[in-house]
Amino acid sequence: MGGAGRDGASVLIVASNRDAMETLGFWFEQEGFDVLGCPGPADVHAACLRPDASACPLAVDADLVVLDLSPERIEPVGRAVRRGLIERYAGWGLPLLVLAGPDDAGAVSERSPGVEILAMTDRADVVWAATRLLSDP
């Protein structure tokens, strides 16, 4: 994946489902973003979820993280892993767009700066939310 970059912006897509990764990557590439991809951790014991773990090297290179936790698209990943991912990415201070179901809405405060939880509907909504997060100060 990779593209010309919308004003040089890059997006890290974290999705365990290959089809979801490809679809989201295509949407962002069509909008001119550079796209990075990661399947995310398999379980709550993954090294990247440990409290002492350093920031993800892919996330460090990204301007925005899109975390796909849509119930219809994720492999059976435990709630603890989903919450851990949201908390971890939100803690790094990067803009974070979570594509999620209703059970993930409480994982971060709705007042968390730079975090938006969106019930994914279509390409336009996802790209609009991502663009808005990038433009917030």
Give phi and psi for 116, each to the nearest 5. -135, 135
Residues 31-40 pLDDT 10s = 999 999 988 8
The Cα–Cα gap between 92 and 75 comes to 25
Name the percent of the chain lying above pLDDT 90.
22
By residue range, what is the domain housing residue 41?
10-135
| Torsion-angle region of 82 (φ positive above 0: left; ψ -120 to 50: alpha; else: beta) | alpha
Question: Does residue 4 sit within a domain?
Answer: no
On whether residue 67 sits in a domain, the answer given is yes
> Is residue 31 situated within a structural domain?
yes
pLDDT of residue 5: 46
Please report whether residue 49 resides in a domain: yes
Q: Is residue 64 part of a domain?
A: yes
pLDDT of the residue at 3 = 40
Q: Does 16 reside within a domain? A: yes
For residues 79 and 37, the answer to whether their CB atoms sit within 8 Å is no
Structural domains counted in the chain: 1
Q: Are 4 and 42 in contact (CB under 8 A)?
A: no
Q: Are 51 and 29 in contact (CB under 8 A)?
A: no
Q: Are 115 and 108 in contact (CB under 8 A)?
A: yes
Q: In this structure, what are the phi and psi dihedrals at residue 84, rounded to the nearest 5 degrees?
A: -60, -40
Query: What does the pLDDT look like over 95-113, one tens digit per residue?
Result: 999 887 655 555 555 556 6
Could you tell me if 39 and 15 are in contact, meaning their C-beta atoms sit under 8 angstroms apart?
A: yes
**Per-residue pLDDT tens digits for 48-90:** 777 777 878 888 889 999 988 876 555 555 666 777 778 888 8
Indicate the pTM of the whole model: 0.81
Q: Is residue 3 part of a domain?
A: no
Can you give the CATH number for the domain in which 25 is found? Answer: 3.40.50.2300
Q: Is residue 41 included in any domain, yes or no?
A: yes
